[in-house]
Amino acid sequence: MTRKYAAAAAKSGAVLVNCCGFESIPSDLTTFLVADRIQSKFNSATSAVDLFFTDLKGEASGGTLASVFTIMETSTSKQLLASRNPFFLTDEKTMAQKQAANLVGPNTSSIAVRYDKAMGFWHSLFVGGSVNQAVVHRSNHRLHDKYGSKFVYRERLAIGGLFMQLLATFGTIVVSTMLYFGWTRALLKRLARAPGQGPSEESMVQGYFIAEAAGYSDDGKLAVKAKTVGSGDPGYRLTSRLISECVFCLAKGEFGDATSLPGGFYTPASALGHKLADRLQTKKFITFELKDVAKSSS
């Protein structure tokens, strides 16, 4: 969609912002804020940001599950493989450059369970990570490599210890395999919620997420840690609030560090940046806490 209608959006002056819900505002804004802090505090590009979802309470809607089934049924194996490229939301030239710089592999999530020494977490593949990674890299692309030309972003699940990560990985492999084949996908459809079905009001109010991130300066040293907390079921209550705040930003012309934007497709971070983060923080829909780990360059 982005590539198909980019020229039309630019010509009309329309500013379109994708992925304004749980996918991918927490990942996108946390990375934006961490990279901005590293730049302003340490006068450095960001070599990497590792983000871990350390706690999450929410339920998948019938509509979300139906979307997953539709993607699997209408996409070819080649298309599904292409969407795994963390730079597929940039452009062909950028994708080729990142491939030549050997950055695709380090930015692609592994199915392996691993341990992060800096954060002290066992972590595994996060199901929504590939989408969020692509959005984060599109933000860096739209911001003219503000994070760094060799920037690496990794997003992982870190709820519980080693056993929980092994269990989560096993579940991901089983469900992914069942989604791939038609007859097992049909079985999952029968077991899944139908579109229109979802959690109760009480469940939506009680939902939340916690993400923790580590940002590294261009010398590879840990520079900034962040903690991002969202209130409300991530897929429902929180997402509706996030979308609403993005709408307010666009309606009021609150475009990050700019007073206006040329027409085109943007991400939350590249279009709205600090203005959106401030809105969410003020209303306590999402709170961002950043802590400097390295010594300031000043």
| CA–CA separation, 97 and 85 (whole Å) | 13
- The reported pLDDT for the residue numbered 250 is 96
- The reported pLDDT for the residue numbered 3 is 83
- The reported pLDDT for the residue numbered 19 is 96
| Nearest CA-CA partner of 250 in 18, 6, 55 | 18
Tens digits of residue pLDDT in 90-126: 999 999 999 999 999 999 999 999 999 999 999 999 9
Bridge partner residues of 15 (DSSP): 264
Q: What angle do CA 67, 245, 9 make, to 5 degrees?
A: 65
Amino acid at 170: F
- The reported pLDDT for the residue numbered 62 is 84
- The reported pLDDT for the residue numbered 297 is 65
C-beta of residue 32 within 8 angstroms of C-beta of residue 187: no
- The reported pLDDT for the residue numbered 64 is 84
CA distances from 239 to 21, 28, 186, 244, 286 (A): 4, 14, 28, 9, 11
> What pTM does this model have?
0.95
CA distances from 184 to 42, 178, 179 (A): 52, 5, 7
pLDDT under 50: residue ranges of the chain: none
- The reported pLDDT for the residue numbered 298 is 58
Query: In 3-state terms, what secondary structure has residue 170?
Result: helix
Find the Cα–Cα–Cα–Cα dihedral 150, 155, 161, 166, rounded to 10°. -100
C-beta of residue 147 within 8 angstroms of C-beta of residue 30: no
Whether the upstream peptide bond of residue 24 has omega within 30° of 0, thus cis, is yes
Tokens 């292409």 identify what position?
A: 82
